[in-house]
Amino acid sequence: MSKVYFTKQLDAEGLIKVYEALGVELAGKVGVKVSTGEKGSQNYLKAELIKPLVKKLSGTIIECNTAYPGARNKADEHLEVAREHGFDFAEIDIMDESGEFEIPVEGGKHLEYDIVGEGLKKYDAMLNLAHFKGHAMGGFGGVLKNQSIGVASRNGKAYIHSAGKTKSPTLCWVRQPKQEAFIESMAEAAKAVADYFAANGKKILYIDVMNNMSVDCDCDANQGAPVMADIGILASEDPVALDQAAIDLIWASNDNGAGELKERIDSRVGRHILPYAEEIGLGTTKYELVEI
């Protein structure tokens, strides 16, 4: 059973408190993986919330280019959007600007490998800092998506979206697998990143921020307004337990808008990622929620 720490204090101080509750120091060069948000989106994590923690870690904001056409599929344009969204308080590294490399996938059934941004090699530790919300293809986005699709290079994103059928960002949208295969591929890619860090003696910590939750992802240029009230911030060393706890908080909510988020998640078989990630050894769905 994994520990998941939870606070209802949804501000910069609360974010630091829940991070410190983990009792683990991220040392060396720290990459902070966030979604910088597509141009036109509105619910991405705001600078005033995350800046104090990123500064505390002397962290670099890390991202990779998108597979879909938009304002973030080229590094120079992606950097411009990231700056417009306020992330220029720290160094910003579009990790696949300098290329990509393959890391092994162990225990999966769809992906032979994961393709990640070349820049990932520079980091001694990573804070996976996710904004929890719905997603048009994955059902929901939390730390598992942030570590799979988010850390993958542009070609790697295509490889995951197609469940290993193609690395082409053009062809992946017309060579779509069964939905369950895509969901499982995300879990496999997330585990590949976790395994790569562990094999190199590097640490990853995980945070889900449950605010401004819409049914659309921050990667949607036409992202809708939040559909339910803010819940809080969760942190864990276990990404599966963390996303499971976030899902459980949505399902336990009496908020009138929670039904819209549940419908989005289940219509895309989104919750399937959790037992599958557990099955392949990424973490456990069993957890103890510790409120701070």
Give me the DSSP letters along 148-215: HTTTB-HHHHHHHHTTTS---TTGGGTS---HHHHHHHHHHHHHHHHHHHHHTT-EEEEEEEE-S--S
Q: Which residues contact 148 (CB under 8 A, 6 or more apart)?
A: 114, 160, 185, 186, 187, 188, 189, 190, 193
Mean pLDDT, residues 105-134:
97
Out of 66-70, 84-88, 213-217, least confident range: 66-70
pTM above threshold 0.95: yes
Residue 173, pLDDT score? 92
Asked if pLDDT for residue 70 goes beyond 90, the answer is no
Fold exhibited by the domain 2-291: Rossmann fold (3.40.50)
124-166 residue pLDDT tens:
999 999 999 999 999 999 999 999 999 999 999 999 999 999 9
Out of 110-119, 170-179, 229-238, least confident range: 170-179
Task: Please tell me the distance from the alpha carbon of residue 172 to that of residue 156, in angstroms, as a whole number.
Answer: 11
